[in-house]
Amino acid sequence: MATDPAPVPAIDIQHLTVSYGPRPALLDVTLSVEPGRLVGIIGPNGSGKSTLIKAILGFVPRDFGTVRVFGQPVEEARGRIAYVPQRGSVDWDFPVTVGEVAMMGRYGRIPFWRNPAEEDHRAVAEALELVKMSDFRKRQIGQLSGGQQQRVFMARALAQGADILLLDEPFAGVDAATERSLLEVLGRAREAGRTLLVVHHDLATAARHFERLILLNQRLYAYGPPAAVLSDDLLEEVYEGRLQSLGPRRAPGGGA
């Protein structure tokens, strides 16, 4: 009896190597991420987590290796990827409103000779509603709290209509309530069929947030379910004895 072919990976990385001058950031990383997954990227400081995101986007040059998105070279599929940067990399004093930031997600779909159409405004309205920022549409971005700013940039990514969302430490510097609301947005995006890769620094919550984890320290140490990736032996090797007590690490839906 014939079996259905395996789905084309959302992201397929083969032998990816990236350096900053003489210093290697990623060494021979190979992995395939299935469509519709919510994946966390973990590892110590300086391990290459943000570099992996930027290499997928093509923001940093590759020394070696390939990145394919749904079977296409990433250079031909950038419209299918949306990016939420770290908050510290954004100029929050720039005079722009919440609605204008969200509309930036549509620019790749709007020909230069016309203004946003009804479908663009509808996509922005739906994205702002999804992240619960509709009431702030006319507010200047610099007047928002850190968590609200993060939600606006998630709205920009959602308005783009991309199949893949790449987020660089979206939970950094936000309170517990904001973290829960961001997780709800990520969960709804996944339920809608999107693939999400999220740089995350907190091992104590990684298993509760994600269904798959990528464990990096220049090279790939593991990719799989949290229960397999967050083993004491692997973490001791990757963190080189610098791992502090994390408390209980629970897989989603699992016991303590």
Query: What does the pLDDT read at residue 37?
Result: 95
The average confidence (pLDDT) of the chain is 86
Give the Cα separation of 93 and 115 in Å (integer).
25
For β-strands 164-168 and 81-84, DSSP reports them as parallel
- For 31, the token pair is 């992995």
Tens-place pLDDT, residues 96-138: 899 999 988 887 766 666 777 788 889 899 989 988 899 999 9
pTM across the whole model: 0.86
Evaluate whether residue 250 is within a structural domain.
no
Q: Does residue 235 lie in a domain region?
A: yes
The CATH number of the domain holding residue 134 is 3.40.50.300
Strand ranges inside 123-180, DSSP E: 164-168
Which pLDDT score is estimated for 252?
42
Percentage above 70 pLDDT, the chain = 88
* Number of separate domains in the chain: 1
Is 193 inside any structural domain? Answer: yes
Provide φ and ψ at 39, rounded to 5°: -120, 130
Any domain includes 248: no
Q: Which residues contact 155 (CB under 8 A, 6 or more apart)?
A: 98, 101, 102, 105, 124, 127, 128, 130, 131, 133
**Residue 251 domain flag:** no
Residue 2 domain flag? no
117 within a domain of the structure (yes/no): yes
Domain assignment present for residue 118? The answer is: yes
Domain residue limits at 202? 11-239
